[in-house]
Amino acid sequence: MLVAGAEPLLILSDVHLNYNGSQGTGEHLALLTRRSQGAELVLAGDIFDLSRESPGYDPAEAIASLLRHHHDVRAAFRDHLSAGHRVSLIAGNHDAAVGEERLRKALLATLDVQSDARLELYPWFIRRGGVHIEHGHLYDPDNAPSHPLATWSYSTEPLGIALTRRFLAPSGALQLAHAHETTPVRGLIRAYELFGARAPLVVAQYFATAIRLCLEAGRQEALTEERERGRNALPRYAELTGVPLRALAELVRAGAEPTHHRFTDTFMRLYFDRVVATLSLLFGASTFALRKSPVAAAVTALSGTYLGASVKRGKSRYSGVIEQRLRDAAGYVVRITGAELVIFGHTHSEDDAPCYLNSGSFGYARNKARPYIWIEPGRSAERRHFTA
SS3 165: helix
Q: Residue 314: what pLDDT?
A: 64
Q: Residue 252: what pLDDT?
A: 96
Segment 76-91 mean pLDDT: 96
Say what percent of the chain tops pLDDT 70.
Answer: 92
Q: Residue 257: what pLDDT?
A: 95
Crossing angle of helices 294-313/272-291, nearest 10°? 150
Q: Residue 171: what pLDDT?
A: 80
- Dihedral angle of Cα 152, 156, 162, 166, to the nearest 10 degrees: 110
Q: Residue 47: what pLDDT?
A: 96
Q: Residue 378: what pLDDT?
A: 84
Query: Which pTM value belongs to this model?
Result: 0.91
- Amino acid of residue 64: A
> What DSSP letter does each residue of 118-153 carry, written as one string?
-EEEESSEEEETTEEEE--GGG-TTT--SSTTS---
Q: Residue 316: what pLDDT?
A: 67
Cα dist from 293 to 191, 281, 297, 299, 300, whole Å:
36, 14, 6, 10, 11
Sign of the alpha-carbon torsion through 32, 34, 40, 44:
positive
Q: Residue 156: what pLDDT?
A: 92
Report residue 89's pLDDT band, with 50, 70 and 90 as the boundaries: very high
Crossing angle of helices 71-82/102-111, nearest 10°? 100
Backbone phi and psi for residue 41, each to the nearest 5 degrees, phi listed first: -90, 115
Q: Is the pLDDT of residue 190 over 90?
A: no
pLDDT, one tens digit per residue, over 38-59 is 999 999 999 999 999 988 899 9
151 and 139 Cβ atoms separated by less than 8 Å: no
315 and 187 Cβ atoms separated by less than 8 Å: no
Query: CATH second-level architecture of 9-154+221-255+319-386?
Result: 4-Layer Sandwich (3.60)
CA–CA distance, 154 with 173 (Å, rounded to integer): 20
How do 370-375 and 382-386 pair as beta strands? antiparallel
Report residue 182's pLDDT band, with 50, 70 and 90 as the boundaries: low
- Amino acid of residue 263: F
- Residue 213, Cα to own-chain centre: how many angstroms? 18
SS3 188: helix
Backbone phi and psi for residue 113, each to the nearest 5 degrees, phi listed first: -125, 165
Cα angle: 163, vertex 132, 382; to 5 degrees: 100
Q: Residue 178: what pLDDT?
A: 54
pLDDT, one tens digit per residue, over 225-278 is 999 999 999 999 999 999 999 999 999 999 999 999 999 999 988 888 888 877
pLDDT, one tens digit per residue, over 281-306 is 777 788 878 777 888 788 778 877 87
Q: Residue 282: what pLDDT?
A: 79
pLDDT, one tens digit per residue, over 58-83 is 999 999 999 999 999 999 999 999 99
pLDDT, one tens digit per residue, over 114-166 is 999 999 999 999 999 999 999 999 999 999 999 999 989 888 999 999 999 99
pLDDT, one tens digit per residue, over 3-50 is 766 799 999 999 999 998 767 899 999 999 999 989 999 999 999 999
Q: Residue 174: what pLDDT?
A: 66
Beginning with the edge strand found earlier in the chain, give each strand of the sheet holding 125-128 in spatial order: 125-128, 131-134, 341-344, 356-359, 350-353
Find the farthest-apart pair of alpha carbons in the chain and give their distance in angstroms, rounded: 81
Q: Is the pLDDT of residue 186 over 70?
A: no
pLDDT, one tens digit per residue, over 98-110 is 988 889 999 999 9
Q: Residue 363: what pLDDT?
A: 92
Nearest to 82 by CA among 25, 48, 37: 37
Q: Residue 188: what pLDDT?
A: 62
CA–CA distance, 86 with 91 (Å, rounded to integer): 16
Say what percent of the chain tops pLDDT 90.
Answer: 63
Q: Residue 127: what pLDDT?
A: 95
Sign of the alpha-carbon torsion through 84, 359, 331, 179:
negative
- Amino acid of residue 77: F
Helical residues (DSSP H) of the chain, grouped into ranges? 23-34, 59-69, 71-82, 102-111, 159-163, 169-171, 184-195, 199-216, 222-241, 245-254, 263-269, 272-291, 294-313, 321-337
SS3 373: strand
* CB half-sphere exposure, 68, CA atoms < 13 A: 9
Q: What is the separation, in whole angstroms, between the first and last Cα of the chain?
A: 32
Segment 325-353 mean pLDDT: 95
